[in-house]
């Protein structure tokens, strides 16, 4: 029976995914399983009979002395994390559990050590900490944008009801952009997706045409561009093409060589509402939150130029900015010749 039990125990040790090593009270390695070879790089022939100190960095030799002292007292060393040395000299973080080994008479003759590589676990913990810091940073940015929306809206609304409605709409627009970022693991969002996220409440798809290359807007720019498109959409629903269900909106974007920015991202919203009113009414935008977002804020955020104007036909908003401040993959877009080169 004892032989069967020993054979079973030996099989378990040999097949274990954890490195299992035994040593005598002098710290000499006596047994060495396959997982120990894989973890530390030494074969059983190379390790057995050698001091266990060959696995321990010199600055941690005191750990071994402490472990042996406790083992001689019959204590089990609870699991702890430390660092060990592989055959190639590299360090590996491990989790160790050490227990005394007794002979048939109950005398302590050595110790059994179970070592588990925790490199992946530590990397995951570090990654989680980094993600938490990033989430904290993003949440603070969100708070800043929302506070800006609240402050700017409060200055330009005449009633509590109007204020609540506009803040709700703008925060929902911000949330739509945020959803796009989450869906793309915060890598950005395409211009087309941003447009559709803001136009999804509009039932007049035949009134809007969009065209441009498949490019991704960087996360830092997604929310601000989404808010700008929200303001244009809301303005059109209230006063323009989308509200009257007549006319046409054409949205185009691309990459061009434009001075002084060089390779530039260009987006143009052109709303032709001819026939809806003799002259487009922009008084609701004058000095309002929409104007701030579409001109001053857009140019400040993207480091370019943003203009909003009314014409006899309707309204035009255009954004020109360095591609680096807007696009995540500008090198995938081949810009046409510069305007100056075309004219030449």
DSSP 51: B
User: What is the rounded CA–CA span in Å between residue 57 and residue 62?
Assistant: 10
In what helix (H) or strand (E) does residue 252 lie, and over which residues does it extend? strand 248-258
Instruction: Show contacts of 285-288: CB within 8 Å, 24+ apart.
Output: 285/235, 287/156, 288/156
- Mean pLDDT of the residues in the chain: 83
Q: Which two tokens stand for residue 333?
A: 């877009």
Instruction: Report the pLDDT value the prediction gives residue 12, as an integer from 0 to 100.
Output: 52
- Which residues have a Cβ under 8 Å from the Cβ of 342 and sit 6 or more positions away? 336
Q: Is 27 helix (H, G, I), strand (E, B) or coil?
A: coil
For the beta sheet containing 29-32, the strands, ordered from the edge strand earlier in sequence to the opposite edge, are 29-32, 19-24, 108-117, 91-102, 77-85
pTM score of the predicted model: 0.63
The CATH code of domain 122-343 reads: 3.30.565.10
- CB neighbours (10 Å) of residue 23? 25
Contact 217, 194 (CB under 8 A): yes
What is the mean pLDDT, run by run of 10 residues, along the chain of 344 residues?
Answer: 47 70 93 93 95 94 90 85 95 92 89 91 87 77 78 78 86 87 87 88 77 90 90 87 88 91 93 61 54 81 89 88 87 50 41
Q: Do domains 2-117 and 122-343 have the same CATH topology?
A: no
| Closest among 238, 218, 307, 300 to 269, alpha carbons compared | 307
Strands 19-24 and 29-32: antiparallel
97 backbone φψ class: left, alpha, beta (φ>0; ψ -120 to 50): beta
Q: Return the H-helix or E-strand segment holding 229.
A: helix 219-239
Output the pLDDT for position 279. Answer: 41
- Token pair 């093409």: residue: 241
Q: How distant, in Å, are the alpha carbons of 12, 39, 156, 214, 296 from that of 303?
A: 65, 52, 26, 22, 10
**pLDDT at 217 (0 to 100):** 92
3-state secondary structure of 332: helix
All structural domains of the chain with their residue ranges:
2-117, 122-343
Identify the pLDDT of residue 341.
41
pLDDT at site 201: 55
Residue with tokens 């309707």: 314
Neighbours of 276 (CB within 10 A): 18
Select 2-117's CATH number: 3.30.450.20, 3.40.50.300, 2.60.40.1250, 3.30.470.20: 3.30.450.20
Is 140 within 8 Å of 54 (Cβ atoms)? no
- Decide: 92 and 117 in contact? Cβ < 8 Å: yes
């Amino acid at each position: 029976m004892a032989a069967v039990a020993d054979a079973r125990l030996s099989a378990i040790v040999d097949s274990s995914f954890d490195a299992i090593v035994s040593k005598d009270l002098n710290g000499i390695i006596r047994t060495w399983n396959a997982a120990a070879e894989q973890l530390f790089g030494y074969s059983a022939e190379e390790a057995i009979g050698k001091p266990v100190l060959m696995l321990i960095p010199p600055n941690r030799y005191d750990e071994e002395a402490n472990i042996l002292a406790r083992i001689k007292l019959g204590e089990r060393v609870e699991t702890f994390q430390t660092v060990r040395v592989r055959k190639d000299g590299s360090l590996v973080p491990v989790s160790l559990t050490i227990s005394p080994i007794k002979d048939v008479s109950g005398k302590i003759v050595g110790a059994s050590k179970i070592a588990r590589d925790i490199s992946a676990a530590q990397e995951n913990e570090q990654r989680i900490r980094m993600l938490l810091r990033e989430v904290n940073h993003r949440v603070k940015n969100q708070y800043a944008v929302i506070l800006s929306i609240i402050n700017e809206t409060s200055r330009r609304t005449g009633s509590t009801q109007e204020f609540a409605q506009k803040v709700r709409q703008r925060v929902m627009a911000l949330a739509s952009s945020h959803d796009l970022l989450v869906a793309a693991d915060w890598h950005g969002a395409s211009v087309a997706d941003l447009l559709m996220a803001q136009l999804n409440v509009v039932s007049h798809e035949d009134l809007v045409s969009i065209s441009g290359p498949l490019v991704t807007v960087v996360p830092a720019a997604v929310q601000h561009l989404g808010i700008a498109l929200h303001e244009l959409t809301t303005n059109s629903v209230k006063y323009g093409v989308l509200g009257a269900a007549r006319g046409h909106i054409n949205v185009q974007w691309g990459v061009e060589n434009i001075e002084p920015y060089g390779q530039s991202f260009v987006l143009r919203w052109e709303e032709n509402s001819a026939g809806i009113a003799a002259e487009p009414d922009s008084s609701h935008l004058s000095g309002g939150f929409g104007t701030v977002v579409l001109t001053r804020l857009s140019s400040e955020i993207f480091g370019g130029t943003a203009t909003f104007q009314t014409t006899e036909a309707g309204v035009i908003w255009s954004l020109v900015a360095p591609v680096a401040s807007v696009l995540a993959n500008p090198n995938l877009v081949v810009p046409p010749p510069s305007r100056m080169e075309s004219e030449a």
